[in-house]
Structure 1
Amino acid sequence: MKFSSRMTVAIHILLYLAEYEEEEKVTSEVLADTTGVNAVNIRKTLQLLKKAGLIEIRRGVGGACLKKSPADITVRDVFEAVEDAKENLFHMHEHPNTNCPVGRSVKGVLDGHLEAWKKLLLQQMQAVTIKDLFAEMQEQMQRTS
C-alpha cells in the first residue's frame, strides 16, 4: 500500500516557511521549486493548510507565512489538514472469496487491528511537531554543508 505524498509536501512547505518566511516572499512558485511539485498542487495544499489555521496567505504583498508557532503544529495537525483523517488508512481488499475459510474470516480478524494501527500512527504523529522536524533539518543541513 502506498500513501499519498500530500502530507510530506505540506511538511516541506511548513519547514520552508519556518526557515525563510522572514527573508523572502514565499509564493506557490517558490514552493513549487523547492518541493518539485506543480504550483497548482502547491496552491491546493496551501489552501488546505490555510483552512486548518496553520498558515496565512498574505493579501497585497502576497506570499504565505505560518499562522501558528512551529512548536504548536504537530505532524498529526498537518496530516489531518491535508488528508481525510476519517478515511481508513488501510483498506481491505474488496472481494475475498467467502467460500474459502480464510477469505470468510480475514476481515473480522483484521478490522480491529487496522483501527488500532491507525490509532498508534496518529499518536506518534501527535508527538512530533514542526519545531522538532525543523531542529532535525537544521542538524542535517549542518552535517551536509
Structure 2
Amino acid sequence: MAVSSRSAVAIHALTMLARWNDRSLTSAEIADSLASNPVLVRRILGSLRNAGLVWSTEGRGGGWSLARTPREITLHDAYAAVEEGRILSRHAHPPSDACEVGRNISAVLEVEFRDAERAMEERLGRTTIADLLRRMLAIEHELASANR
C-alpha cells in the first residue's frame, strides 16, 4: 500500500486542535503528543494549511488553530491534504504481454483497486474530527471512571 503515516499524524493534529479549540497550539505541543519531531509536525500542518483546514499565527502566543469547525473536517479532508498518489500501488513495471495473466491483470486490478479506493474515500468522508473527538473523550471518561 502507498499510504504513509502522514494521514494519522494529520488526523492526530486536527483532533488535538479540536480538543483545545479555545487556544492555539504550537507545533512543539502537538509533537509532544505524537512523541515526534516538531519539524515533521510543521510539514504536516503546512499541508493542512494549504488545504484550508488550519491556520497559524506567528510570534508570542502564536500557534495553530482549526480553520473550520471540527464537524466540517472529515478524515478524508485530512487524508487528501497530506497523501499523494493512489492508495493501492499498481505494477511498478508493465507485466509481460507474452503471458495471458500479464496482458490482462492490470485492467482487472484497476477496476478492483479503484472501487476499493472509492470505498475508503467514502468511508473517511463520513467521519469528522468532531466524531473522533467525541469518541476519544468518551474513552477518556470511561478510563477515568474505572480508575476511581
- Shared fold (TM-score, shorter chain, > 0.5): yes
Cα RMSD, aligned residues only: 1.6
Residue identity in the other structure for 1:105: N
Counterpart in 2 of 1:82? 82
The CA distance in 1 between the partners of 2:69 and 2:83, in whole Å, is 21
Counterpart in 1 of 2:43? 44
Q: Is the 8 A contact 1:21 1:64 kept in 2?
A: no
Counterpart in 2 of 1:8? 8
The residue correspondences of 1:83-102 to structure 2 (distance < 5 A) are 83-84=83-84, 87-93=85-91, 94-102=93-101
Higher relative contact order (CA 8 A, sep 6+): 2
| Bigger shift: residues 94-103 or 73-82 | 94-103
What's the offset of the Cα at 1:98? 3.3
Residue identity in the other structure for 2:31: A
Residue identity in the other structure for 1:126: G
Percent sequence identity is 33
**What CA deviation, in whole Å up to 9, does each residue of 1:45-86 have, x standing for no partner?**
1111111111111233211111110000011111111112xx
Q: Is the 8 A contact 2:2 2:88 kept in 1?
A: no
What's the offset of the Cα at 1:37? 1.9
What's the offset of the Cα at 1:2? 5.5
What's the offset of the Cα at 1:95? 4.4
Q: Which ranges of 4 or more aligned residues in structure 1 deviate by more than 4 Å?
A: none
- Count of equivalent residues: 142
Give structure 1 stretches of 5+ with no counterpart: none
Give structure 2 stretches of 5+ with no counterpart: none
Counterpart in 2 of 1:136? 135
Counterpart in 2 of 1:112? 111
Q: Is the 8 A contact 2:54 2:67 kept in 1?
A: yes
The CA distance in 2 between the partners of 1:99 and 1:109, in whole Å, is 17
TM-score by length of 2: 0.87
TM-score by length of 1: 0.89
Q: Is the 8 A contact 2:10 2:82 kept in 1?
A: yes
